[in-house]
Structure 1
């Protein structure tokens, strides 16, 4: 029997209603539409969602949501900071432990590997059990304690092990922050909110090498880890006292539509493979492949800068740290402008289409950045190859950083818009694959650079990135149809 409601169902009622609706040429239960919202309805005048229950976190006061956003943005700083604060000190670490440049690069690649792997556990657990706050606290403990041990160790392999655990704790803040934003903001506000989240992320990315260079030169590289431990001790009470639980649990507990009907409860099971299974969806896998080519630039650049700037430009540790200002400022500006422009594109579309939109509309905002990225990084490689004046690689680094975040902000927000109920898992996956690839990039960077030169290394990466733009074009053109016709039933089954 078909039930045809006369009004739009609330998020609670969607779990109960078994009305058949047509998406393309496939009939699907409304309860599956929460995983693949092919369109959303907004109030035309206010552009806010019109079906939210009063207690939904999206209806919390603006000041409360702003405080939460600031807290998760601050927490998001520790992952990139912990990565980049290490770079200016790699030569000092190599000399202190009497090891090789390859082993030091292994310590970097291991950190990146666990930065991408740990969020798979965290994202799946957080989405399954609807727990953001407590997972934040556990993650910060896993970050702070190993930071103290790193400051005390005398063996390079113990340092690498502790850095791996530290990476697990710090990287969790990224997918948790994405989940919190999905919990408290409506889609037309998420681009701006993600801009603020990644503002914190790239403040950490920007400040890390500056702080690392100064500490390594003035106090010794062990103070890099003491500094991280202090940051962890500040964030722990901040999260404990000021971050409420943002996940609204009752949307997963359906209520009966009539007194005679029993209450049916969905018992969710934790499955670490849930984020991995999202790779079965073409619009997810193609987007992530493209993003991996951007991460290749970012990580190879970070590994190359300390060595080349020390050997070719004879810069000190502190000045090497300052050169990271160029991409860092580019990240900051690209994140904020990209987020704002992404929201503008989506809002403009909704105003012209009676308040309706679909996630692929947001991809209209990325094309400028897609072209800027390979040009900028290619110029960076050849300016180093010919030992051009320092200003040329600096400008190239800034433009590459700007383009990278101009694109990344919109593509990450696209994933959250497409799968809001799996937001933390989607973000975890979008970090996992690029980090796995980055581990490979970092390990082979020095051998490749020695074999073909830094100019040709970045030329190859630029060509791969340029070709992969076609994948994002395919997502833009086909993504809506894929979600409507092919993958609805599949993702519902994957989450059981």
Structure 2
């Protein structure tokens, strides 16, 4: 939640922050670009560490970094401080989503993974409806610095819950959960308090020293290698294209609404609610739909789909199971994007673009759930690394799109701009069909090659 929330809660405070530290809005927008760049790079480091060295220690380091950055942001009064601390804030928060995918892969079988990923994505989808409203309310009543104090308090509570309750799930550390962790960093505070013998403490101390060495040796190249695997690359490209469209909608929404419908800043913040709540509900429902599609495909092909089966996916038609519904979702997304641009340009009644926002939010969030689950299925032993690969692609495409978005709207209008975006999004339809047809053979060839080496 904290990575997207840190962006959405920041948007309503852009002008007050610029006035507060005496710089232009363009310079404040530079902190948004730098935030996105760091959020694309950091998971490449943290994902590999989490897959090899455990989820808990990386979570602890990431959230601690995020808390420190928020304290610094609340206390600073200069642009260099804002720029640097926003980058540190991004480094602390951006890896948590890929860590979440890792935990989902650890604890959920493929038969139930869709629901787990859907629940996971409900966290990031809280940000679009609540972030702008919360940011605007805090800024108007308490001042923009209290945005960072609120984020600090929320993340501090989350860190305490993690320290006490989140068990280590990495298969490389605890297997299927039956192997108890031996190192201090992998144990919850409750587990540490239950350790009573000196022998256990000595063993965990020794293990913590060994872990320290491993955490200093992340390998981001493992993340980059996945970009050149054919079946994985299609998923990454489609996910990146849809995320770029998602960001274009979010970035242009308030400015277009204010310009076309003469809304004030508070009203412009409230119009994020329909899109956000559509995304939130879709994450949950599409996860359930994925589990249904998986069970139906398994039954049709003579496989058992339950909590104790399904780990061996070599012969299972995984692509057919996961991509059963994605074509409808992509068609709704691309068609609604096209219509959205033209109703905005033609200044149709505000209810129409808001209804289209609901269609876009529901469909595109469903696409994210489908592709995120399939990517985890492809990489069960390195799921955090795979999620980091997706983050690199989507942040690169989103940053490129946002850099030219306003220029295109100013040059040809919102109608043609979102026609282009909708057309590019529609390219994902044939790409996912190629994945569905050829993906199983690519996946088996990859497994055979890996087994030989």
Q: Same fold (TM over 0.5)?
A: yes
Distance 1:141 1:389 in 2: 46
> In structure 1, the residue corresponding to 2:169 is in which secondary structure?
coil
Compared CA separation, residues 304 and 135, structure 1 to 2 (3 A): same
Counterpart of 1:107 in structure 2 is: 31
Distance 2:252 2:353 in 1: 12
Compared CA separation, residues 436 and 372, structure 1 to 2 (3 A): same
Distance 2:267 2:16 in 1: 14
Distance 2:26 2:393 in 1: 23
Does 375-384 or 234-243 show the bigger shift?
375-384
Distance 1:227 1:492 in 2: 52
Counterpart of 1:411 in structure 2 is: 371
- TM-score by length of structure 1 reads 0.77
> In structure 2, the residue corresponding to 1:401 is in which secondary structure?
helix
Q: Structure 2 residue aligned with 1:341, among 267, 284, 289? A: 289
Counterpart of 1:366 in structure 2 is: 326
Give the conservation status (yes or no) of the 8 Å contact 1:278–1:491: no
Compared CA separation, residues 119 and 250, structure 1 to 2 (3 A): closer
Distance 1:101 1:386 in 2: 29
Q: Please state if 1:145 is matched with 2:68.
A: yes
Q: Structure 1 residue aligned with 2:246, among 293, 298, 301? A: 298
CA RMSD of aligned residues (A): 2.2
Counterpart of 1:392 in structure 2 is: 352
Residues 66-118 of structure 1, C-alpha deviations (whole Å, 9 max, x = no match): xxxxxxxxxxx111211111122223334444444443332222212222221
Counterpart of 1:171 in structure 2 is: 94
> In structure 2, the residue corresponding to 1:453 is in which secondary structure?
helix
Q: Structure 1 residue aligned with 2:56, among 133, 136, 152? A: 133
Counterpart of 1:472 in structure 2 is: 432
Number of equivalences: 403
Residues 379-410 of structure 1, C-alpha deviations (whole Å, 9 max, x = no match): 22222222322212211211111111111101
> In structure 1, the residue corresponding to 2:95 is in which secondary structure?
helix
**CA positional deviation for 1:243:** 0.5
Compared CA separation, residues 287 and 248, structure 1 to 2 (3 A): closer
Distance 2:452 2:251 in 1: 41
Which has more helix, going by share of residues?
2
Q: Structure 1 residue aligned with 2:236, among 267, 273, 288? A: 288
Distance 1:381 1:105 in 2: 24
Residues 23-56 of structure 1, C-alpha deviations (whole Å, 9 max, x = no match): xxxxxxxxxxxxxxxxxxxxxxxxxxxxxxxxxx
Compared CA separation, residues 145 and 164, structure 1 to 2 (3 A): same
Give the conservation status (yes or no) of the 8 Å contact 1:124–1:274: yes
**CA positional deviation for 1:205:** 3.3
Compared CA separation, residues 382 and 104, structure 1 to 2 (3 A): farther
Counterpart of 1:223 in structure 2 is: 146
- TM-score by length of structure 2 reads 0.84
Structure 1 unmatched runs, 5+? 1-76, 254-266
Distance 2:84 2:110 in 1: 40
Does 445-454 or 465-474 show the bigger shift?
445-454
Distance 1:396 1:374 in 2: 11
